[in-house]
Amino acid sequence: MPAIVLVGAQWGDEGKGKATDLLGSRLDYVVKFNGGNNAGHTVVIDGEKYALHLLPSGILTPGCIPVIGNGVVVDLGVLFEEIDALEARGIDTSTLVVSANAHLIAPYNRVLDKVTERFLGSRKLGTTGRGIGPTYADKMSRIGIRVQDLYDESILRQKVEAALDVKNQMLLKVYNRRAVEVDEVMAEFLRYADRLRPMVADTSLVLAKALDEGKNVLFEAGQATLLDVDHGTYPFVTSSNAISAGACTGAGVPPTRIDRVTAILKAFTTRVGEGPFPTELHDEVGDRLREIGREFGTTTGRPRRIGWLDTVIGRYAARINGVTDFVITKLDNLDTFDEIPVCVAYDVDGVRHDEMPMTQTDFHHAKPIYEVLPGWKSDISGCRSYDELPANCRAYVEFVEGQVGARVSVIGVGPGRDEVIERHSLLGHD
């Protein structure tokens, strides 16, 4: 009856959505605790593709209650668009629960996200432009608007007016944009208030009760370890805590209740947006891997930057998240390579680093030190047990295990729900 946190080990898009879906029927609750519609999870069920942004991936499993925690930033328009699209495909979304304390993405923050990026020019972060950063900044500045504010209209208006005092100065005077009217913001927020009302709850209390009753609860991170605002490659990060500890603040669940931490590690590395990336490939091998892996963003459609697996990052993810189990995804994407380089350490200005360098400057200078493993040169997509994998493939998995220092419990061999090999239970039963 565990509480499990599921995180991305790299820079996102590791296949978190699929891992959640794999646990699906064994879960009673799936909780999104950070981020917003900057996330993009693709899940393939019986050949049907679902792209989720704001809703927890558990919504695709009948009987599993999806929860949007207080740490999430919610764009109401996107939320209901996504709900309507799923309902139209026969997915029941009626059990969704949304925290009264979650912050709302206001229209001015979507505009500010885009114009600040434009102003940064070559120093831009490459954000998803969904208003994520400005909304979290407002939360910390204590001028944010929360879900519960929708149900006290006069307070809502006061809060929107207070926020607009600042925002309109910035839009007009700094960015030379038009001011946003209070009525415009009120109209966008209130449009969805009645529809949202039955879903709103004290989600921390809901989850405490569920855990007391021995339910299985999965806390599903958006983004990933190296995009975490405190422990990632700052400033090239998102604006929330995407590591396992973020589940505690972002869902209102204490650390003493978390039993297991699963990290999703893609068999190679990708990154969307700007920032340092030691194993990045700028050659035709990278292009080949992008094509094989179809590495184009679920949210923005941008081609993802590609590199070999970096186990310095894997080791860091294991430590900072307290990983009990790794899931290696997309191992099948390496089927055709003769040799597979794996980064095991960095050379930073002539000094070997086995751990993540302490400073941004050193990380920018990090050159990968590779160990080259032989490929297995066969199609593993049909394998369903560990023993069926070719010897070189098993050697690769065990090499990674040794490098990151935690067990690899699940291996993804294809995008479909059943295209996995389970060596150990992520629920910790073996």
Task: Show which residues are catalytic.
Answer: 13, 41
Cis, peptide link before residue 235, omega less than 30° from 0: yes
Asked whether the beta carbons of 242 and 44 are under 8 A apart, the reply is: no
**Binding of residue 40 to Mg ion (CB under 5 A):** yes
Q: Residue with the closest Cβ to ligand GDP?
A: 412
Q: Rounded to whole angstroms, how far apart are CA atoms 309 and 314? A: 9
Q: Which of 4, 6, 31, 39 binds ligand IMO (CB under 6 A)?
A: 39
Task: Spell out, one character per residue from 110 to 149, where the chain touches ligand IMO: x when CB under 6 A holds, - when not.
Answer: ---------------xxxx-x-xx----------------
For residue 216, the number of C-alpha atoms closer than 13 Å in the C-beta half-sphere is 17
Choose the one of ligand GDP, Mg ion, ligand IMO, none that binds residue 390, judging by a C-beta under 5 to 8 angstroms depending on kind. Answer: none
For residue 44, state whether it binds ligand GDP (rule: CB under 6 A). yes
Residue among 290, 194, 263, 217 nearest 56 (CA): 217
71 sits near ligand GDP (criterion: CB under 6 A) = no
Residue 158 Rama label (left phi>0; alpha psi -120 to 50; beta) = alpha
Interaction mask 290-329, ligand GDP, x per CB under 6 A? --------x------------------------------x
Question: With binding defined as CB under 6 A, does residue 250 bind ligand GDP?
Answer: no
Nearest-approach distance from CB 40 to Mg ion, in angstroms:
4
- Is residue 271 involved in binding ligand GDP (CB under 6 A)? no
- Phi (first) and psi of residue 308, to 5 degrees: -70, 165
Q: Facing residues of 97 across strands?
A: 67
In contact, 22 and 265? CB cutoff 8 Å: no
User: What span, in angstroms and rounded, lies between the C-alpha atoms of 430 and 426?
Assistant: 9
Contacting residue, 5, 6, 9, 13, with ligand GDP by CB under 6 A: 13
Pairing of strands 305-307, 269-271: antiparallel
Return the residue of 2, 35, 40, 250 that touches ligand GDP, per CB under 6 A. Answer: 40
**Count, residues near ligand IMO per rule CB under 6 A:** 23
* Strand ranges in 255-338 using DSSP code E only, listed in sequence order: 260-266, 269-271, 305-307, 309-310, 325-329
Cα–Cα distances in angstroms (integers) from residue 77 to residues 81, 238, 294, 393, in the given order: 6, 21, 28, 45
Buried b (16+ CB within 10 A) or exposed e, 221-247: bbbbbbbbbebbbeebbbbbbbbbbbb
Q: CB of residue 305 vs Mg ion: minimum separation in angstroms? A: 14
Determine if 413 is a binding residue for ligand GDP (CB under 6 A).
Answer: yes
First to last CA, the chain: 13
Pick the stretch among 99-107, 124-132, 364-372, 410-418 that binds ligand GDP (CB under 6 A).
410-418
Q: How far is the CB of 128 from Mg ion (least distance, A)?
A: 10
Residues in contact with 152: Cβ distance below 8 Å, sequence separation at least 6, in sequence order: none
In terms of Cβ atoms closer than 10 Å to its own Cβ (0-12, 13-18, 19+), residue 177 is middle
Q: Is 225 in the site for ligand IMO (CB under 6 A)?
A: no
| Smallest distance from Mg ion to CB 61, Å | 19
Give the separation between CA 11 and CA 310, rounded to whole angstroms. Answer: 11
Q: Is residue 16 at the binding interface for ligand GDP, with CB under 6 A as the rule?
A: yes
Contact between 18 and ligand GDP (CB under 6 A)? yes
Q: Among residues 4, 6, 9, 12, which is the contact residue for ligand IMO, using CB under 6 A?
A: 12
Residue 272 binds: one of ligand IMO, Mg ion, ligand GDP, none (C-beta under 5 to 8 A by kind): ligand IMO
Out of Mg ion, ligand IMO, ligand GDP, none, what residue 69 binds, judged by CB under 5 to 8 A for its kind, is none
Task: Check binding of 8 to ligand GDP (CB under 6 A).
Answer: yes
Contact residues toward ligand GDP (CB under 6 A) are 8, 12-18, 39-42, 44, 298, 329-330, 332-333, 412-415
Residues that bind ligand IMO (CB under 6 A): 8, 11-13, 38-41, 125-128, 130, 132-133, 222-224, 227, 238-239, 272-273
